[in-house]
Chains A and B, each alone.
Chain A
Amino acid sequence: MDLSTPPPDLYGRPRADTFFRFLTAFGDRYSPALGSPLLRRNPRRPYSRPTEALQLVVTARRRVAADVVELTLADPSGGPLPGWQPGAHLRLALPSGRERHYSLCGDPADPAERSGYRIAVRHLPDGGGGSAEIHDTLHPGTRLTARRPRNGFAFCAEPAVLFLAGGIGITPLLPMVREARRNGLDWHLVHTGRSADTLPFAAELRALDPARVHQRTDDEHGGPPTGAELLAHAPRGAAVYCCGPAPMLTAVQRALDASPAASLHFERFGAAPVTDGEPFTVRLGADGPELPVPADRSALDVLREARPDLPYSCKQGFCGTCEVRLLAGAPDHRDRRLTPERRADGALLPCVSRAAAGETLVLDL
């Protein structure tokens, strides 16, 4: 846009807009004045310090289903840990350097639990190795670090609630169930799994309220439940909190409108894993360094290692925050944001877009 001619009058009168002339003059004096003694950050004030990572030690380990262990993590000196709310998760840095998110499954309202976080982990033989590492190497006394709990699945305590848990998906819901019970909400829980011995915390849940906890296993019913079956337990107008494998969530989403439930909460996990990716290379500027992008990582993740301040947000190719300019190379655009004109103009979203095997994308960075 033209930034040299002030905008014309709103109603077509043949002069520049008076108010905008005033605003522009004000801005042109205000900006250079910032930084003078009365208009600057007080240099004597210390800079705010970053929140430190939590140092934790494993204090207890118990089996809560056939292939699920529950770990209790505490401050090594036994001090209180930062508080959290149902639905929160912990990002653990495992001894191998892997980082994994685990929902907290203890009871944040119980003062005795302020000194220990509880997580439950299912052993996934085909997973990325995080669950195997936890099962094999984390024993009482093992130390690890974690970020403070954060919540991507907040519990809003609606008057009528249906909890839907698929197997280990019970972990974030467990604290919500306890809170719902404490607050006297009209709640139900459907806990599904392959067989009874794979359902974590089965006895604990039944003890909460056998009339409200419905355990449903595939072996007894001849297969996984449909969305409508799961939602049949919803009180009218209920808020549904669902945590389980992707097909379960999809089934519930599809069946919601025809059910008595009114709303659906679920944990959002941001980026989906890369599918059909091939290894390629990005170069930072025409003469800049080259970085290899492996088949299973996004270009954004690789770029962020070199440029930590590179903005990004959705990591799914729709918000456009991570847009970079492509100087050369044939990209495989996988976003749902950029118009053909913008792409032709060199815009690229590295959070999802890639290139063919062996290709080099030269980026204006």
Chain B
Amino acid sequence: MPSTTPVPALAAPAARVHESLVLEPRDVRFDWAALPLHWIPDEPMATHVINVLHLLLPEGERWFVKVFKDALPLIRDEQLREEVLGFIGQEAIHAEAHQEVLDHLLGQGLDPRPYVRQVSWLFQRVLGDKPGLSPARQRENLIERVAFVAAIEHFTAFLGNWALNSPGLDRAQADPTMLDLLRWHGAEEVEHRSVAFDLMVHLDPGYARRIRGMLVSGPLLVHLWVRGARFLLAADPTLDGRLRPTWRETGRIAKRGLLPDPVRSIRSGLRYLRPGYHPTQEGSSSQALGYLATSPAARAAAGR
């Protein structure tokens, strides 16, 4: 059985920012055959709050890929273009990895399709291409979507950083393969945390664009998470609808280290609004790359 241990925060000389990293996707595979429905034992609420990731990410990351592919012709810097291409490949692999978990949920009697149908509508219809717009307006829509991605990537890096520093999940004996998925994904999110932001600034350095990106996608993400958790708890065939998520209970679970603290998560979203913000100010590339050098899935990918 693969073992995963959180990488402890590294000493001062290593905690500096890694510049100009080459980004490449990793060909990871996971075997979910043995994944229990409640992969954090006896913690259905924590399990399902994290499971919302599997509902949102396959469609969401496929949409990121589409937005960034559309944005390629607008990029005037070769290094940024290479980073964007690396980002696209990583996101494409993330989407597939989470899709497999989603398929596994269905096999366990939890039907995620009503929620996924809504998520697909969100990304393909609400945030998709609109007919009848002039080229200038299409371009503005594209840059706006990049700003949404940049804001969401702030949260994925926040969550990735949390996953890399979450000994509570190990203490609770969470499924090691799922932990590796979360930490591999989290580490790549930390690794590429600047790309979407840098692309947005490259296309539009205006502060208003950044703010709109967060003001629209931040509350939307929170709302989707809450309704996703409520949906999963209601759809879980073993719970008979007995459990309902509450902020108070979420706060208690976060104190045990099984979820990110909701207050801190919101505060992190607010930091994105600071004028001097840059994604490299949060999380550690050293820690992320250190985990990727340890991760069973990433190491197996390296041998392919």
Contacts and interface: CB of A to CB of B under 8 A. Distances in A.
A266 B303 CA distance: 11
Interface stretch (A69-77, A142-150, A289-297): A142-150
A314 B25 contact: yes
Most B-side CB within 10 Å, residue of A158, A262, A312, A316: A158
Interface in A300-337: 309, 311-314, 316, 318-321, 336
B43 interface: no
Contacts of A39: 140, 212
A96 interface: no
Nearest to A17: B118
Contacts of B216: 30
Contacts of A88: 20
B266 interface: no
B168 interface: no
A137 interface: no
A318 B130 contact: no
B204 interface: yes
Nearest to A89: B22
A253 B79 contact: no
Interface string B43-85: 0000000000000000000000100010011001111000001
A247 interface: no
B137 A148 contact: no
Interface in B1-50: 10-11, 13-14, 18-22, 24-25, 27
A226 interface: no
B218 interface: no
Given A31-B133, A151-B22, A313-B89, A253 B118 contact: no
B294 A11 contact: no
A239 interface: yes
A7 B14 CA distance: 48
Interface in B198-240: 201-206, 208-209, 212, 216, 220, 223, 227, 231, 234
A157 interface: yes
Interface string A1-26: 10100111011100001011001101
A122 B86 CA distance: 29
A47 to B, nearest CB: 7
Decide if the interface of chain A is mainly helix, strand, loop or mixed. Answer: loop
A179 B16 CA distance: 13
A212 interface: no
Contacts of A159: 11
A156 interface: yes
Given A150-B20, A156-B290, A313-B85, A318 B141 contact: no
A3 B124 contact: yes
B27 A318 contact: yes
Given A151-B20, A313-B92, A31 B141 contact: yes
Interface of B: 10-11, 13-14, 18-22, 24-25, 27, 65, 69, 72-73, 76-79, 85-86, 88-90, 92-93, 114-115, 117-118, 120-122, 124-128, 130, 133-134, 136-137, 140-141, 143-144, 201-206, 208-209, 212, 216, 220, 223, 227, 231, 234, 285-287, 289-290, 293-294, 299, 302-304
30 contacts: A3-B125, A10-B114, A20-B121, A23-B126, A24-B126, A28-B130, A32-B130, A34-B140, A34-B141, A35-B136, A35-B141, A38-B208, A40-B140, A41-B203, A41-B206, A47-B76, A50-B77, A51-B77, A88-B20, A154-B21, A158-B10, A183-B13, A239-B290, A263-B294, A263-B299, A264-B302, A313-B25, A313-B90, A314-B24, A318-B93
Given A3-B125, A10-B231, A34-B140, 6 more contacts: A11-B234, A268-B22, A309-B73, A311-B88, A313-B24, A313-B86
